[in-house]
A = this chain, B = another copy of it.
């Protein structure tokens, strides 16, 4: 199966959670906006006769299926790429973790866009300062402590979030931590001592052969100030 991923060019964004799964799973895939340009993405998004249009990128074409919503794409890909548990209970748990990661991603995004995605950061900077202050002081620790607790409580050991094997939730937690280190290095430095297993997972994922090769490749876009995780030092912890 050759997959086609549709996502905005130029940013990691939510598409990156899908890319990491495709890369780790050794999937045959094409990153459409990057290979065919943004117009191809827009045309696919606005295809008026599509029965199952996505509200927003990313979406994945897999044969006749068109699948939108990041967590939903991963729900589909997980078992096919060897990145999800075999049973229903395990798959629900991985999906639950992915949705919680997605919630934190949205909150991270809203630190720089608390008023409107359609406005520039400069037009909502005062509000962003307030929201980011709450995010770094309260929300980051609450979410990351939760994932630390999940790793410690895993009966199969703290190496993975779910059971004894790698899942796409582990890859997504890696990406979340990577993004937080980029956007909020001071807040992460303060939280790090309480997150030994989260940080070990982050390291382990970064050194998996396929992920390491991907991170070194031109396919991995750098973080930048158009994406979800932005380095605006004024929004980081003091």
Residues of A within 8 A of B (CB): 49-55, 65, 67-69, 71-72, 75-76, 88-89, 92-93, 95-96, 99-100, 103, 106, 110, 114-116, 118-119, 124, 127, 130-131, 134, 138, 143, 146, 149-150, 153-155
Find A130's partner among B75, B95, B115, B149 (CB 8 Å cutoff). Answer: B115
9 nearest A-B residue pairs (beta carbon): A116-B134, A69-B99, A55-B100, A69-B96, A72-B96, A127-B127, A115-B130, A68-B96, A114-B114
Q: Which residues of B contact A53 (CB under 8 A)?
A: 146, 149-150, 153
Pick from B114, B138, B154: contact of A131, CB below 8 A: B114
**Residue ID in chain B nearest A123 by CB atoms:** B130
Give bound CA distance, A138 to B106, whole Å: 19
Query: Known interface pairs A76-B92, A100-B69, A127-B130. Does A55 touch B116 (Cβ–Cβ under 8 Å)?
Result: no
Q: How many copies does the complex hold?
A: 2
> A68 to B69, alpha carbons, bound, how many Å?
18
Interchain nearest-CB distance for A67 vs B (Å): 6
On whether A92 and B65 interact (CB within 8 A), knowing A103-B55, A127-B127, the answer reads yes
**Contact residues in B for A93 (Cβ distance below 8 Å):** 52
Report the Cα distance A91→B96, complex, angstroms. Answer: 16
**A114 contacts B138, CB within 8 Å?**
no
